[in-house]
Amino acid sequence: MSSMQTGRPRSFFEKVWDDHVIADLGDNTYLLQVDCLFLHEVSGGVALRELQQQGRGVASPDQVYTVNDHVVSIRPERKPGEGRNAVATAMIGETLDASRRFGLTTFPIGDPRQGIVHVISPELGLALPGVTLVCADSHTCTVGGVGSLGWGIGSSEGVHVLATQTLRQVKPRTMRIRFEGELAPGVYAKDLALHLVGRLGANGGIGYAVEFAGSTIRTLPVEGRFTLCNMATEFSARYAFVAPDELTYAYLAGREFAPRGDAWDDALRYWRTLPGDPGATFDAEFVIDASTVAPQVTWGTSPQQVAAIDAQVPDAEQFDDPGARQLLARALDYQRLRPGTRLDSIPIDVAYIGSCTNARLSDLQAAAQVLAGHKVAPGVLAICVPGSTPVKRAAEALGLDQIFRDAGFEWLESGCAMCATGGADRLADKRVISTTNRNFEGRQGPRTRTHLASPATVAASALAGHIADARRR
């Protein structure tokens, strides 16, 4: 049963928000209950140490979880607690020690459930519809794919949640983006997401809670919904989500931390009241024809600098705004690209499949479909890092690992890996096509030039040795 029936039609977001308000603090700021806090090894140990130094304890240890993903080793023989270097190993150790002292549930290397936080939180049934979930990572909005309200926080907010299991939040405006029409063959959630960032711009969602809706979304598999919600932070949405439906419940049923039996039935009854009421209004709303979206690839150094794969690197002439021209010139200089070059002709050095954006089982299946029976082009380094250990094992049970290996991909252990700096030594000064979420200057390595795309596009590009359209294979 959902509470606070005001009699006015409410959107999904308004219902979830209302159900978590502990106090109205004025100034459009509210104290919200936080149902789930995830710590990871980069900031978790630091936050717990600060808490201890403040002489405080963890308010609700059963609602705090520690993962190891950001700086874990991904080599096949990795040992428990092993980081990508000595400092990383120390951070992992400190975070795990502190987590255990405070009685938190942990998912370290060696635990079969270990993986990237935004992959495992729904996999475990910890991200559930209508749950508020926070983590010191800007892609926490990923969990909106199962109708959780997830967002990224700073590490002192993390200490606040540890000490109080609450957070102060400014109530955002609401936006609904409806995708209508069927996705064309070979077009995936990642392409929709990139197209959207291109349309809205890097700032287009500032101050908004964004609901993805429409016929395309209703039939989009849950793993695709994660991808779409994940990328929402790239247009600066504060929250992003898809209201739960039967696909959501089918995904979550039977998961380890999901309710069971009568508790599941009760939860289901509550969740079914959450989708927006007819007549609910939004501060902003628009519709996108999903059927016309083509596979996308970024050309620049911001996710908004993106185009269809058969388009050309743009020219400064195309932009009226001097600020945009300046950005363009700088991006082309860093990326070492010339205006007019067809995107699907740009040679690549590295193909990377991984990250909380696109390394779930369906992503690996989409890539494997392209790779099967073919080989990576000579000179191309190809790497696959599954999103979680369960994903890796499920892929292996289906023989996908063999397809990747036969094609010439490295098949590694799960972690955030090369999304940001994890491969700096191997990716330095290279051109990388990647299923990740950011193409900022230097993110994947010093002087690394990143192009973002879907797993199918990355796979096709690995085979071709240049950015390539998977539909053409």
Partner 1 sequence: MESFDRLSAGAAPLMRINIDTDQIIPTRFLLRTTTAGLGEALFADWRLLADGTPNPEFILNRAPWSEARIMLADSNFGCGSSREEAPRALRQAGFRAVIAPSFGEIFFGNCFRNGLLPVRLDADALKLIVTQVEASDGRAQVCVDLVAERVTAPGGETFAFSTPALLRQMLLEGLDEIDLTLGLAQRIEAFREADARRRPWAYARKAGR
Site for partner 1 in 182-241 (CB under 8 A): 202-203, 206-207, 236, 238
Cβ atoms 198, 307 nearer than 8 A: yes
Q: Which of 27, 77, 317, 320 is close enough to bind partner 1 by CB under 8 A?
A: 27
Amino acid at 68: N
Q: At its nearest, how many Å lie between partner 1 and the CB of residue 331?
A: 10
Residue with Cβ nearer partner 1 (9 or 154): 154
CA distance linking residue 473 with residue 460, whole number of Å: 7
By rule CB under 8 A, what string of x and - marks binding of each residue 93-132 to partner 1? -x----------x--------------------x-x-xx-
**3 lines the binding site for partner 1 (CB under 8 A):** yes
Among 155, 273, 312, 365, binds partner 1 (CB under 8 A): 155
Taking CB under 8 A as the criterion, the residue among 8, 9, 25, 333 binding partner 1 is 25
Looking at 299-448, which runs of residues are DSSP E strands? 306-308, 350-353, 381-384, 409-411, 431-434
Angle in degrees, CA 151, 156, 159, rounded to 5? 90
Token pair listed for 224: 């695709």
Q: Which stretch binds partner 1 (CB under 8 A): 222-230, 285-293, 309-317, 418-426?
A: 418-426
Alpha helices in 353-411, H assignment, sequence order: 361-371, 389-397, 400-407
164 lies in the site for partner 1, by CB under 8 A = yes
Task: List, in sequence order, every beta strand (DSSP E) within 406-468.
Answer: 409-411, 431-434, 449-452
Strand arrangement, sheet containing 166-170 = 21-26, 29-33, 166-170
- Count residues binding partner 1 (CB under 8 A): 77
For partner 1, the closer of residues 24 and 285 by Cβ is: 24
Q: Among residue numbers 387 through 416, which ones bind partner 1 (CB under 8 A)? A: none
- Contact, 297 vs 453, CB < 8 A? yes
Helix extents (H) in 2-116: 12-18, 44-53, 86-101
Q: Which is nearer to partner 1, 263 or 284 (CB)?
A: 263
* Contact residue for partner 1 among 90, 184, 294, 316 (CB under 8 A): 90
Residue whose CB is less far from partner 1, 90 or 398: 90
Q: Locate tokens 């969740």: which residue? A: 271
DSSP 109-147: TTSTT-B-HHHHHHHTT-S-TT-EEEESSTTGGGGGGGT
Per CB under 8 A, 45 contacts partner 1: yes
Using CB under 8 A as the binding rule, whether residue 426 contacts partner 1 is answered as no
Q: How far is the CB of 422 from partner 1 (least distance, A)?
A: 9
The nearer residue to partner 1, 44 or 314, going by C-beta atoms, is 44
Piece in contact with partner 1 (CB under 8 A), picked from 179-187, 321-329, 400-408, 453-461 = 321-329
For the record, the structure tokens of 248 come out as: 């959501």
329 binds partner 1 (CB under 8 A): no
* Using rule CB under 8 A, residue 138 touches partner 1: yes
Between CA 223 and CA 202 the distance in angstroms is: 23
Contact flag: residue 154 with partner 1 (CB under 8 A): yes
420: contact with partner 1 by CB under 8 A: yes
Stretch that binds partner 1, among 217-225, 380-388, 401-409, 437-445 (CB under 8 A): 437-445
Q: Does residue number 442 form part of the binding site for partner 1 (CB under 8 A)?
A: yes
Span 4-23, contacts to partner 1 by CB under 8 A? 19, 22-23
Q: How far is CA 407 from each of CA 152, 348, 400, rounded to the nearest angstrom?
A: 37, 16, 11
Q: Does 91 bind partner 1 (CB under 8 A)?
A: yes
The one-letter code for the residue type at 183 is L
Structure tokens at 340: 């007019």
C-beta of residue 288 within 8 angstroms of C-beta of residue 186? no
Q: Which of residues 266-305 bind partner 1 (CB under 8 A)?
A: 266-267, 270, 302
